[in-house]
Amino acid sequence: MAEDQPSLLQKFVQDELPQELRDLVSNLPMENGWAEKHLYQYQGFWYNPFILQALVTLQKHFHANDNDIFLVSIPKSGTTWLKALAFSIVNRSKYPNFQNHPLINNNPHALVPFLEFDLNSSNEFLPNFNSLSRSSSLFSSSPRIISTHFPYVSLPNSVKESSCKIVYLCRDPKDILISRWHFTNKLRKGITDNFSLEDAFEMFCKGVSPGGPFWDHMLGYWNEGMKSSNNKKIMFLKYEEIKMNPLLVLKELAEFLGFPFSREEEAVGVMDDILKLCSFDNLSNLEVNTNGKTSFGVENNIFFRRGQVGDWKNYLTTEMVEKLNNIIANKLTEHGIQF
């Protein structure tokens, strides 16, 4: 790639529109973006142009396999951790020696690809469907483990209609906000001015954030998972529950994915080994995660900040907390989602 050619990250931030997308976005509601210049509302949710291009293409062409595993989350809900856990569960028979585990030398995002990001591996707004074939290293395993931030309503029909497994991870929206705000300013560094917490808060509360509104994103998977036809297809997880009881959640996750731990594995501490390998302290201090970049141009260390529950207490004012708690109560709690 020529030195003066913008990176994928720069295209993502600078809001470059391919010709084929201009007609679509010209008729969509638009708001100022977070890392990007603008967000566009499509099917009730907000996207930057790059993700919107991928979404429209995937809805038309992506084919899900019945044994696929989809890891879904709204951005900054613990996606990196979930990827590490799921990859380790599914592939533990291939890598019994944790000292030589792929996570030692690979960021979790390199092992479990993002559907919407890794589609465009050539740094162009043209879909590379070769990356979706079984010959690709990203999608060659069986079952395929694929990550996405897409809301349920926008998933390709083949995902909804197949027998694939969907693991949905959510988090206290107050912590999502703070984590997203920090992440955004790391993306904007050197490209544009910092994004104030006050502006981020107001947009978040309006539902205008990448992948937002957060309440509709969570409710989409929650409501689908409550249906009897989907109770074995969708697993709804909370970041806080994993932090509180990681061993129990790991066991339940393995059973849901179809890779339950045997009594022998439990007895010799395989579950404990996986939790230690995938812990925030371990992953964040690995050489691969302190240096290097993802395939879509983001530094690996940007995905590891604090990994704590309740960090919002260090940033939000009493008035902010009250306003956001009221939104959570009105939009989520009455439907059964509590934080």
Residue by residue, DSSP assigns 112-177 as S-BHHHHTTTTSSSS--GGGGSTTSTTT-SSS-EEEE---GGGS-HHHHHS--EEEEEE--HHHHH
Q: Is residue 178 a contact partner of residue 80, using CB atoms and an 8 Å limit?
A: no
Q: Please list the residues that pair with 71 across neighbouring strands.
A: 147, 167
The residue with greater pLDDT, 292 or 274, is 274
Q: What are phi and psi of 44, to 5 degrees?
A: 90, 0
Domain ranges of the chain: 16-335
Radius of gyration of the chain (CA): 19
Residue 237 pLDDT: 96
Q: How many CB atoms lie within 10 A of CB 192?
A: 14
* Neighbouring C-alpha atoms within 13 Å toward the C-beta of 212: 23
Residue 129 pLDDT: 44
Is the pLDDT at 10 greater than 90? The verdict is: no
Sorted by sequence, the CB contacts under 8 Å of residue 250 that are 6+ apart come out as 85, 89, 271, 274, 275
Q: How confident is the model at residue 298 (pLDDT cuts 50, 70, 90)?
A: low
Is the pLDDT at 4 greater than 80? The verdict is: no
Residue 122 pLDDT: 44
Q: Is residue 13 a contact partner of residue 191, using CB atoms and an 8 Å limit?
A: yes
Is the pLDDT at 7 greater than 60? The verdict is: no
Is the pLDDT at 138 greater than 70? The verdict is: no
Residue 168 pLDDT: 98
Average pLDDT score over residue span 39-52 = 92
Q: How deeply is 98 buried, as exposed, middle or buried, from its count of CB atoms within 10 A (0-12, 13-18, 19+)?
A: middle
Q: How confident is the model at residue 22 (pLDDT cuts 50, 70, 90)?
A: confident
Supply the pTM of this predicted model.
0.88
**Per the residue annotation, which of 149, 182, 217, 335 is the catalytic one?**
149
Largest CA distance in the chain: 59
For 16-335, which CATH class?
Answer: alpha beta
182 noted as active-site residue: no
- Determine the Cα–Cα distance for residues 281 and 262; give it in Å rounded to an integer: 27
Lowest mean per-residue pLDDT among 19-23, 39-43, 47-51: 19-23
Three-state DSSP at 8 gives helix
Q: How confident is the model at residue 145 (pLDDT cuts 50, 70, 90)?
A: very high
